[in-house]
A and B are shown apart, each in its own frame.
Chain A
């Protein structure tokens, strides 16, 4: 089955080809932003010389490490992932994602649901085995489609 967790290598290659092509067509692109950094702890070091907690306004996160993409809930995941839209399917490239925690997975579920409401199916490409295994262990392999 094309959208199963263990997709064939052929489809991987096809998608690798597809992404650069699709990226050139602005009409097809939903999101092609670079992965945004999310860690907002950097500013705090200078702002909090005391040992009391720094009380801050809730602010949109900026400038952090890419490896934390999928730790953070509450961010607009669509803006943090590279992706292309092609023939009713939104492809997201997870080649830079080496780690995903449960909050990150919850984010992806939110993303899946929000696009599903618009009739868009999600597929992830270049997914590392470690991450596939994690999805499987959580029983999400029948919900998420990897190619």
Chain B
């Protein structure tokens, strides 16, 4: 009997359909987006010039600064969401001549490799991915499709304490590749694979990526355009937590057994659904809107799994990088010695030192390699974000794993920003620069989010207002801007709920701040393998800042309510405005606290490592 997993019950879940592009909706988005930007300028102009409370500049300046930085995000969102530009779909390729110029060579069917990268995941979980990869169909029987399990855990039977991945690969009749070290982590694993394989195109799947039969049929056609370097498909997590009626949660937690009482609770709370996608894992907004709309700027980046690549593009980058690396080393030597004969003598060492590295050895190897390919002026490589789901994956199932995964994304992107910022990268177009900048900028959000979270607390305890007054003027500028902004986002994310995403945007401030500090301190960003299973590790450390802020907010509110009751509060309108804002903050922060203690109803477990 095959091993049981918690996600077995989700096998029949069907993926969402990609949003249908609608030009009228796009025009409306563009119109409202521009109006929002204009109203934002008017609001901030008023804020900076007329609204600051001169008696509390220590408070007023940080808040208006936070609002300004947040406004930059608004502009970037409008830019990023400007328009869909889905590439034309083509039938799957058959011959090499369909994807590249033969330059006198004889034609032949294309060769495709499928890589399944694994490190420490349950071998039975990987078996499922292998089985699904074997079910991938292709209309041309002479097209060679080979499947490779790339096991960086060296589970080839040498260590009896470990599971035997090699045996599973053999049982499934697929190729098995290992290396004797873990240099470069996943990028190193792919490097090793590319050294031992021959496909003209290769797909990258993670250990838990289960490709649909149509995976190749729907994606290889894009490579008819000879500058397409890679195609990324959406990552769809089919195991996110299900919505459950609030009444069920109440009945369960209060252990209500009386049937009449249960009926009563059901009738009152039965329609309210909670706990859907408790970790905010659903990446639909990212793939179906953010990344897909970057097709417009040829700036969609690779996300490391569920993608298919042109080998010659990635090898071109690797070879160029090799040559550039030697040139850099030569220049360093020249600067030190200023004698070309010394360099000639040492050239051998330089060549030996340099490696051919297809995917950058970096914690965010996917986005970094994408930047490098996009920046190639000679080839002008194109990327494609395919709109439809072609594979399914598992999401993180506990807060600790979730935080570690997202912290790596954040730290990886920030590391690129500090060491090789795409904004200054020669070769990228303006649209690409702004798109990559948008990604990087989003990781600076904790600065302004923290100010927004602490502002009500500062008010409650100092009783100082950051604005001169919550007057008609304030609402005259603030409300139109906010209303237009809400409509713009609604149009831009049409058909997708942004509720959970908004909550996590705020709630993520702490781990993102920690990621920022990691990079600023110059620490190496490590490639942590994301555990795919349920661990229920110690989560409290991740929510301590949330608990502190919520507690301070509640104490402050209570203190102010008492002052108000005693008639000693200097500004009732300030209290009302801040109290309203607090509720919004508390709801957003509490989502992560809830996630920390969330457990599914059935605690059947699967181990990720």
State whether the Cβ of B173 lies closer than 8 Å to any Cβ in chain A.
Answer: yes
Taking the closest CB of chain A, its distance from the CB of B521, in whole angstroms, is: 35
A53 and B106 contact, CB distance less than 8 A = no
Given A44-B144, A55-B174, A143-B323, verify A113-B352 contact (CB < 8 Å): yes
Please, which residues of chain A bring their CB within 8 A of the CB of B352? 113, 116-117
State whether the Cβ of A25 lies closer than 8 Å to any Cβ in chain B.
Answer: no
Give Cα A98 to B102, complex, Å. Answer: 11
Interface size grouping (class) on chain B: 35 or more
Give Cα A139 to B330, complex, Å. Answer: 13
Give the contacts of B102-119 with A (CB-CB under 8 A): 103-106, 108-109, 111-112, 114
Interface-centre pick from B109, B144, B324 (highest chain A CB count, 10 A): B144
Contact digits for A98-112, partner B, Cβ 8 Å, 1 yes 0 no: 110111011001101
State whether the Cβ of B198 lies closer than 8 Å to any Cβ in chain A.
Answer: yes
Interface-centre pick from B135, B177, B312 (highest chain A CB count, 10 A): B312
Taking the closest CB of chain B, its distance from the CB of A52, in whole angstroms, is: 6
Give the contacts of B125-159 with A (CB-CB under 8 A): 134-142, 144-148
Taking the closest CB of chain A, its distance from the CB of B286, in whole angstroms, is: 30
Nearest residue in A to B213 (C-beta to C-beta)? A52
Please choose the segment from A7-15, A26-34, A56-64 that sits at the chain B interface, where 4 or more of its residues have CB less than 8 A away. Answer: A56-64
Give Cα A81 to B324, complex, Å. Answer: 27
State whether the Cβ of A24 lies closer than 8 Å to any Cβ in chain B.
Answer: no
State whether the Cβ of A45 lies closer than 8 Å to any Cβ in chain B.
Answer: yes
Chain A contact residues: helix, strand, loop or mixed: loop
B196 and A110 contact, CB distance less than 8 A = no
**The one of A44, A58, A112 that contacts B142, using a Cβ cutoff of 8 Å:** A44
Give Cα A68 to B103, complex, Å. Answer: 12
Contact digits for B86-109, partner A, Cβ 8 Å, 1 yes 0 no: 000000000000000001111011
Contact digits for A33-76, partner B, Cβ 8 Å, 1 yes 0 no: 00000111100110011111111111001000101100111100
Given A58-B196, A61-B198, verify A101-B315 contact (CB < 8 Å): yes
B145 and A139 contact, CB distance less than 8 A = no
Taking the closest CB of chain B, its distance from the CB of A124, in whole angstroms, is: 16
A106 and B319 contact, CB distance less than 8 A = yes
Given A102-B319, A113-B352, A116-B351, verify A51-B141 contact (CB < 8 Å): yes
Taking the closest CB of chain B, its distance from the CB of A58, in whole angstroms, is: 4
State whether the Cβ of B195 lies closer than 8 Å to any Cβ in chain A.
Answer: yes
Please, which residues of chain A bring their CB within 8 A of the CB of B198? 38, 40, 61, 71-74
Give Cα A57 to B149, complex, Å. Answer: 11
State whether the Cβ of B378 lies closer than 8 Å to any Cβ in chain A.
Answer: yes
Contact digits for A72-109, partner B, Cβ 8 Å, 1 yes 0 no: 11100000000000000000000000110111011001
**The one of A54, A72, A113, A137 that contacts B351, using a Cβ cutoff of 8 Å:** A113
Taking the closest CB of chain B, its distance from the CB of A54, in whole angstroms, is: 7
Give the contacts of A105-138 with B (CB-CB under 8 A): 105-106, 109-110, 112-113, 116-117, 130, 137-138
**The one of B134, B323, B351 that contacts A139, using a Cβ cutoff of 8 Å:** B323
Taking the closest CB of chain B, its distance from the CB of A48, in whole angstroms, is: 5
State whether the Cβ of B457 lies closer than 8 Å to any Cβ in chain A.
Answer: no
Give Cα A68 to B198, complex, Å. Answer: 11
B105 and A99 contact, CB distance less than 8 A = yes
B142 and A41 contact, CB distance less than 8 A = yes
State whether the Cβ of B573 lies closer than 8 Å to any Cβ in chain A.
Answer: no
Taking the closest CB of chain A, its distance from the CB of B487, in whole angstroms, is: 48
Given A41-B111, A53-B138, verify A103-B348 contact (CB < 8 Å): no
State whether the Cβ of B318 lies closer than 8 Å to any Cβ in chain A.
Answer: yes
Contact digits for B464-483, partner A, Cβ 8 Å, 1 yes 0 no: 00000000000000000000
State whether the Cβ of A22 lies closer than 8 Å to any Cβ in chain B.
Answer: no
Taking the closest CB of chain A, its distance from the CB of B351, in whole angstroms, is: 6
Taking the closest CB of chain A, its distance from the CB of B349, in whole angstroms, is: 9
Please, which residues of chain A bring their CB within 8 A of the CB of B173? 55-57
B351 and A143 contact, CB distance less than 8 A = yes
B197 and A41 contact, CB distance less than 8 A = no
Give Cα A38 to B142, complex, Å. Answer: 16
Please, which residues of chain B bring their CB within 8 A of the CB of A51? 137-141
Taking the closest CB of chain B, its distance from the CB of A138, in whole angstroms, is: 5
Nearest residue in A to B198 (C-beta to C-beta)? A72
Given A51-B137, A58-B175, verify A41-B109 contact (CB < 8 Å): yes
Given A103-B312, A106-B319, A106-B356, verify A67-B105 contact (CB < 8 Å): yes
Nearest residue in B to A104 (C-beta to C-beta)? B315
Give Cα A45 to B142, complex, Å. Answer: 5
Taking the closest CB of chain A, its distance from the CB of B245, in whole angstroms, is: 43
Nearest residue in A to B133 (C-beta to C-beta)? A53
**The one of B103, B141, B312, B356 that contacts A50, using a Cβ cutoff of 8 Å:** B141
Some 8 contacts from A to B, beta carbons below 8 A apart, are A40-B198, A41-B108, A58-B146, A73-B195, A73-B315, A102-B315, A106-B319, A130-B103
Which of A's residues lie within 8 Å of B, judged by CB? 38-41, 44-45, 48-58, 61, 65, 67-68, 71-74, 98-99, 101-103, 105-106, 109-110, 112-113, 116-117, 130, 137-140, 142-143
Top 8 A-B pairs ranked by shortest CB distance?
A: A53-B145, A139-B323, A102-B315, A74-B196, A102-B316, A58-B175, A41-B144, A55-B173
